[in-house]
A and B are shown apart, each in its own frame.
Chain A
Amino acid sequence: MPRAACPRCGFSNPDSRSTCDLCGSALHGAGADGATAPFAEKRRDFYSEQASNVRRSTILLAGFILMTAALAWVLGELGGLGPFGVLIGLAFGSIGALSAYYSGDRIVLAASHATEVAADKEPVLHNVVEELCLAAGLPMPRLHVIESEAPNAFATGRDPRHASVAVTRGLLRTMSREELQGVLAHEMSHVRNLDVRFATMVGVLVGTVALLCDWFWRSWRFRRGGRSSGGAGALLLIVAVLLAALAPLASVLIQMAISRRRELLADASGVELTRNPRGLASALRRIAADPARLEVANRATQHLYIVNPLKSSALDSSGLFSTHPPIEARIRILESMA
């Protein structure tokens, strides 16, 4: 199948498309010169983004509770608990969902070894964020630092009043003030759009699902030899194995679905705040060029960061399995705004 490169961001699209899959600008004919192409996502105001994130978060929580209940039902039937399995599953699912909502930020921050810093310890970081809060009309988030040399940053929290921004030591060390402002404007846009709520809960729930699956596989291997099962038992076993195999896949799908367009949107609305696309473009280039690895990032938190910290994957730039748009495309879009 022939593919056409987008004139604006360079993303390779199937020839049949008339607009770019990634940045939404026109591919052929009038307006395809890149510079004048409209940035479709930017036009939507952040109220509709907030509404969409609230909706997606609710669906995610409900889905998680239902999935836990279904899993517990199967396990309960297997373990001879009968219908009580569902109740236990509902209880566990609700507790998980509630803690993902209310303490998701703390869980993610703790898992990333982020420590809160006072304003006088990191005056530049504090000042830059406070400036952006003025520009966006947002309350001041809590600030955290991750002691790692790999430059990266993420935002978390359930709403702007309960938001945290975490940056690595490497980011503070290598970035100029202008670049730091670009990165933090991107993070504050995530806070304002309520992306942080959905992304944080995805991170926590993906982590929980992975934990549950590991636990299921262990206990299944453990009891495999002990019990002989009839036809119904075998069927339940198949369902259980299917569920356990599907769960990680579902989590991968969710991670894919959440961020690619949202990263672009946060880039764009960050630029709307700072009115300076060069800072973020140069910061992205610097982050991409840095060889250091962020050890504290994992598959449940990778989508939160401004640049995917798990850069080893060769699949990343093809876009199919990535949580982030290709970094070169992001830089090109930013440069087209300048």
Chain B
Amino acid sequence: MAAPFMLLLILVVFALALVGLYNGLIALRNQVKNAWQQIGVQLKRRHDLIPNLVEVVKDYMGYEQETLDKVIRARGQAIQATGVQGTAAAEGALTGALRSLFAVVEAYPQLKANDNVARLQEELTSTENRIAFARQFYNDMVMRYNTKLQVFPTNILASSFGFKDEAYFEIPAAEQEPVKVDLR
């Protein structure tokens, strides 16, 4: 009489615990996705700002065509990049190209004095920071999610339902170094 009841109770508790774990995983995975979209928003913002900057700067920078071309090319590659790793690499290259462009801008007094350039430079600096912070937030989320997938008992549930580790958004080491600009 009592035994089947106890068995039923244990089963119910067990099922509830499973549901809780599963829902927790789903919620965390959605947070990771949302954090990833936040990065996407900022990257898009940067891609949209660059043509404006190129437009303003190009008249002044006859001799620096190469630097500008690099930025334009890097932007094109960044827009087409897919996946976390591909995006990270392409965006890292774009960051590097933009930095050398700004270093060159420093050498042109008329450019530095131009209000449009100053405004665009502030917007791009801000976007740069936003990307860095959004990446920081995303990586924190990924770490929490991946840890959850690896610890007991969630790992059993996760592997049987096909949850997979998310990739960190890592900037290639070469892009983290300061740029060297040859101003002659």
Which residue numbers of A lie inside 8 Å of B, CB to CB?
123-124, 127-128, 130-132, 134-135, 137, 177, 181, 273, 275
Task: Kindly state the interface size class of chain B when it binds its partner.
Answer: 10 to 19
> Which residue of the partner chain, among A123, A131, A177, contacts B133 with CB atoms under 8 Å?
A131
Is B137 touching A127 in the complex (CB atoms < 8 A)? no
Chain A residue contacts of B126, Cβ below 8 A: 127-128, 130-131
Q: Report the minimal beta-carbon distance from B37 to chain A, rounded to whole angstroms.
A: 12
Would you list which residues of chain B between 80 and 135 have a CB under 8 Å from chain A? 119, 122-123, 125-126, 129-130, 133-134
Complex interface: chain A residues within 8 A of B137 (CB): 134-135, 137
Report yes or no: B122 in contact with A132, Cβ–Cβ below 8 A.
no
Give Cα A131 to B125, complex, Å.
Answer: 10
Look across to chain B and name the residue whose beta carbon is closest to the beta carbon of A134: B133
How near does chain A come to B169, taking the closest CB pair, in angstroms? 14
Q: How far is the CA of A130 from the CA of B129 in the complex (A)?
A: 10
Q: Are A132 and B119 in contact (CB under 8 A)?
A: no
In whole Å, how far is A208's beta carbon from the nearest beta carbon of chain B?
Answer: 39
Cα distance, A181 to B123, chains bound together (Å): 15
B130, A123: Cβ atoms under 8 Å?
no
Q: Which of A124, A135, A273 contacts B122 (CB 8 A)?
A: A124
Confirm or deny: B136 has a beta carbon within 8 angstroms of a beta carbon on chain A.
yes
Determine the residue in chain A with the shortest Cβ distance to B125: A177
B38 lies within 8 A of chain A by Cβ: yes
Complex CA distance for A128 and B122, rounded to whole angstroms: 10
Q: Which residues from B are CB-within-8-Å of A127?
A: 122-123, 125-126, 129
| Pairwise interchain contact B130-A131, C-beta atoms closer than 8 A | yes
Chain A binding site: helix, strand, loop or mixed by DSSP?
helix
Whether the pair B119, A135 counts as a contact (CB closer than 8 A) is no
A124 to chain B: closest residue by CB: B122
Residues of B within 8 A of A137 (CB): 137
Check B133–A135 contact: CB distance below 8 A.
yes
Closest to B133 in A: A135
CA A135 to CA B38, docked complex, whole Å: 11
Distance between Cα atoms of A130 and B122 in the complex (Å)? 13
Q: Give the docked Cα–Cα distance between A217 and B134 (Å).
A: 56
The 8 tightest CB contacts between A and B, nearest first, are A135-B133, A127-B126, A131-B129, A134-B133, A131-B130, A134-B134, A134-B130, A131-B133
* Contacting residues, chain B, for A130 (C-beta < 8 A): 126, 130
List 15 A-B pairs, Cβ < 8 Å: A123-B123, A127-B122, A127-B123, A127-B129, A128-B126, A130-B126, A131-B129, A131-B130, A134-B38, A134-B133, A135-B133, A135-B136, A137-B137, A273-B133, A275-B136
B125, B133, B137 — which one has the most chain A CB atoms within 10 A of its CB? B133
Q: In the assembly, what is the distance between CA of A137 and CA of B34, in Å?
A: 11
Taking CB atoms, residues of chain B closer than 8 Å to A128 are 126, 129
B38 partner residues in chain A, CB cutoff 8 A: 134
In the complex, which residue of chain B has the Cβ closest to the Cβ of A128?
B126
CA–CA, A243 and B126, complex, Å: 53
Could you tell me the distance between the alpha carbons of A273 and B134 in the complex, rounded to whole angstroms? 11
Quick check: B123 and A132 within 8 Å, CB to CB? Answer: no
Complex Cα gap A151–B66 (Å) = 43
12 extra A-B contacts, CB within 8 A, seeds A123-B122, A131-B126: A127-B123, A127-B125, A130-B126, A131-B130, A134-B38, A134-B133, A134-B134, A135-B133, A135-B134, A135-B137, A181-B129, A273-B133
- Nearest CB to that of A126 among chain B residues? B126
Which residues of chain B come closer than 8 Å to A177, judged between CB atoms? Answer: 125
CA A323 to CA B134, docked complex, whole Å:
34
Compute how far the CA of A216 lies from the CA of B38 in the bound complex, rounded to whole angstroms.
Answer: 56
A177→B38 CA distance, assembly (Å):
23
Closest to A135 in B: B133
A135 to B126 CA separation, bound complex (whole angstroms): 13
